Structure 1
């Protein structure tokens, strides 16, 4: 009997303990609302649109405050005198929260004292039917306008509103901007969705007139992204497709479909980490950029060439109407922080006949560190006394170069080996244009034979 009573007592204690854990957990969940976490089952059955706005500030960086739709003024953390940044996700075919969301929150708050609002429309974006998610975009924009209207009444300014939209989220940001006649301060579009939007007129998608400043990163223009320019300035990493480090075949599974598309987000996050500035080059085409035709940043002084990401708005092209967008191209490495250290190699030859081929570059510093460039994707044409510009890049930056190695190749497997007679070679750092330019004169490159030499400082211009 005593044993039964003892067991009952311990069962009661266990039940109370479980209840206490559940009550505390429920209380924590109530105190710290989180992004909606769904699964593939929800995607298969479909979800009704629900939108919640989760506010984070430096005062509550780890515990969000859910804004009340019709009483935003009741917020305990929203400070309308500060910048208000909205982050809007896109299509969620599996229902899980975006993998990048936590980093986005932490990095934005550490970069600037802002009101950060995560727009959670996972219920409405989670579906296997992409068209339903597309149709919900306009509805989400209408709901966001309701919130923003209340913020404006409470003292906020459209100038300080900044919307970061990913994929479908970029078009949602555009729809919101339309509702305010383009007076919203800034919109960043991270690989705006292409399917269902590519053939649409400006009023049915993100457009450069939707905000005072719009920067767009296009990383998957041949599949899930949007190819044509949409902003004040449009960035095309690696030409806008086939990002380095991403799978090349369908056998890699889900990553094959989303890696290029998501790269825009990770490039933006890299800009917040400030490990290096990703410098970009305004140009008419990726091919012209690769041929070294658009790498003179001095042409844009005093602003120089634009940098990618969060700080892109520090570069604004002067006296350019919104109808004339700027396209900027650049190459990246295959992993975070994605920086490529670019050099311009200028070569003047004195061969009587024309030569076509590639030049591979290695540089070595005084500590013995060596980095090798990728071969230029386009063959260069070398003509007598004509200067040829070759853009080359390295994954690592070497400050003081002691040796340069060049290899000339025509990539032909048969036939005689060729020589390239060099009248002058000049190597210039594009990331650090203040560095000494390095030269070498009168030497011969034998095909497929590496030549290593010590460069000398180039003479100053005009001397």
Structure 2
């Protein structure tokens, strides 16, 4: 009788352990003042436990399927001890779009401190703890090619340190706005670098504050130039959100890339200014996309074919999609003009969109074509009207008109769509002019 009771209790304990769900460490704000000793916990999600994380370690990786891709998510600095506000969203979205082993690297104990240099010093220690875990995956038949490390801020550099330990043979590292403070100016051994994996892609969203400005990967994406992100507070009056919004936007852009209704196409360019001036908007279907599904492009293209610095824009809110047009203008004024043009487009459903103020002041010289980048946050398949407003770059100037011999609007996002044209348009200074375009004649198509 006692023997059977012991077996039942033993089975109950095993079942209880098997069903136990482990959560990301949550710490009180007092720990940020006193500091925390480094503890790394690995939370594993698979198709068998998609909502209930199990704990694994360097000697216990058997719950994961080594034949599948393994994705590590590594967070960054946690000054207040709370879990990242994007954590559950990235877990749910990744599992929805891909059948993977998902490992959340919880090093909140070690990242929670008001002493940022301490957290920085812990990054290499975290990498050292992850090394035997990946070794064990290999011993069980796993491949380094099937490992994808996604690091946020300090986590991006942790990923780089791990990749370096394996001689750059890990399949892919994604750095989401890698931390800049205490890493700027460091050598390759002390930060994320393109040599740390077979492919390294990096997204920059806060290069003028918490992020890293320079190139770190095979492809470095600069969203909205890598600085101020649309929809983020513009002043410090918004408190904490002002400090972290641009930095955290990298994670939300990346999560959204997994499920967004648009493919965010990017454009290789030397600078964001050149991109805004429409000097890097060549129509090439082999240009890279942005985000988690980049593997589709990696497998079909040569990375070295393109510069590794690329740019794109986003809207202020999810799904962050932007749609691009090029507006070609041929002026006819005898005397040159210098100024700006504001653009609004109306679709056949009555939707009106206004282009972002992309360009600097332009010189409009007689019969010399000027091309402007038009970026809007809604896709207008059929444009029924165009509204233009010309403003002079000179503060004091007599009332004048910008005469347009011909304008042509062509979709950059959908190059096969018909171009629309209009002739003999006169724009009085600071007055909006609205007109209906028509499909360009065949001979004017490029």
Match of 1:66 among 38, 55, 65: 55
3-state SS in 1 of match to 2:326: strand
Cα displacement string for residues 308-339 of structure 1 (whole angstroms, at most 9, x for unaligned residues)? 211123334955559x8511111111111111
Q: Which residue of 2 aligns with 1:6?
A: none
3-state SS in 2 of match to 1:209: helix
The CA distance in 1 between the partners of 2:302 and 2:247, in whole Å, is 32
Does the alignment pair 1:271 with 2:260?
A: no
Match of 1:383 among 359, 365, 387: 365
The CA distance in 1 between the partners of 2:362 and 2:395, in whole Å, is 18
The CA distance in 1 between the partners of 2:47 and 2:341, in whole Å, is 51
**Which stretch shows the higher mean deviation, 349-358 or 373-382?**
373-382
Within 5 A, what are the aligned runs for 1:42-441? 42-73=31-62, 75=63, 78-298=64-284, 301=285, 303=286, 305-316=287-298, 319=302, 321=304, 326-410=308-392, 412=394, 414-441=396-423
Deviation at 1:297, TM superposition (A): 2.7
Does the alignment pair 1:34 with 2:20?
A: no
3-state SS in 2 of match to 1:36: coil
The Cα RMSD (Å) is: 2.1
**Which stretch shows the higher mean deviation, 112-121 or 354-363?**
354-363
**Which stretch shows the higher mean deviation, 101-110 or 377-386?**
377-386
Q: Is the 8 A contact 2:331 2:369 kept in 1?
A: yes
The CA distance in 2 between the partners of 1:444 and 1:28, in whole Å, is 76
The CA distance in 2 between the partners of 1:386 and 1:314, in whole Å, is 40
Deviation at 1:214, TM superposition (A): 1.1
Within 5 A, what are the aligned runs for 1:11-30? none
Q: Is the 8 A contact 1:138 1:172 kept in 2?
A: yes
Deviation at 1:412, TM superposition (A): 4.6
Q: Is the 8 A contact 1:237 1:329 kept in 2?
A: yes
Cα displacement string for residues 178-206 of structure 1 (whole angstroms, at most 9, x for unaligned residues)? 11111111111000000010110111100
Deviation at 1:393, TM superposition (A): 1.2
Distance 1:50 1:57, change over 3 A: same
3-state SS in 1 of match to 2:52: coil
The CA distance in 2 between the partners of 1:419 and 1:337, in whole Å, is 39
Cα displacement string for residues 161-192 of structure 1 (whole angstroms, at most 9, x for unaligned residues)? 00000000000000111111111111110000
Greater Rg over alpha carbons, structure: 1
Distance 1:29 1:191, change over 3 A: farther
Q: Is the 8 A contact 1:231 1:325 kept in 2?
A: no
Deviation at 1:111, TM superposition (A): 0.5
The CA distance in 1 between the partners of 2:384 and 2:96, in whole Å, is 39
3-state SS in 2 of match to 1:53: strand
5+ unaligned residues in a row in structure 1: which ranges?
1-22
Distance 1:95 1:28, change over 3 A: farther
Does the alignment pair 1:446 with 2:428?
A: yes
Between Structure 1 and Structure 2, how many residues are aligned? 432
Q: Is the 8 A contact 2:79 2:112 kept in 1?
A: yes
Q: Is the 8 A contact 1:51 1:140 kept in 2?
A: yes
Deviation at 1:366, TM superposition (A): 2.0
Q: Which residue of 2 aligns with 1:20?
A: none
The CA distance in 1 between the partners of 2:283 and 2:172, in whole Å, is 24
Deviation at 1:391, TM superposition (A): 0.7
Deviation at 1:360, TM superposition (A): 1.1
Distance 1:386 1:411, change over 3 A: closer
The CA distance in 1 between the partners of 2:442 and 2:42, in whole Å, is 58
Q: Is the 8 A contact 1:229 1:325 kept in 2?
A: no
TM-score by length of 1: 0.89
3-state SS in 2 of match to 1:187: strand
Q: Is the 8 A contact 2:75 2:153 kept in 1?
A: yes
3-state SS in 1 of match to 2:26: coil
Deviation at 1:413, TM superposition (A): 5.0
Deviation at 1:306, TM superposition (A): 2.2
3-state SS in 1 of match to 2:39: coil
Deviation at 1:415, TM superposition (A): 2.7
Q: Is the 8 A contact 1:87 1:118 kept in 2?
A: yes
Q: Is the 8 A contact 2:173 2:200 kept in 1?
A: yes
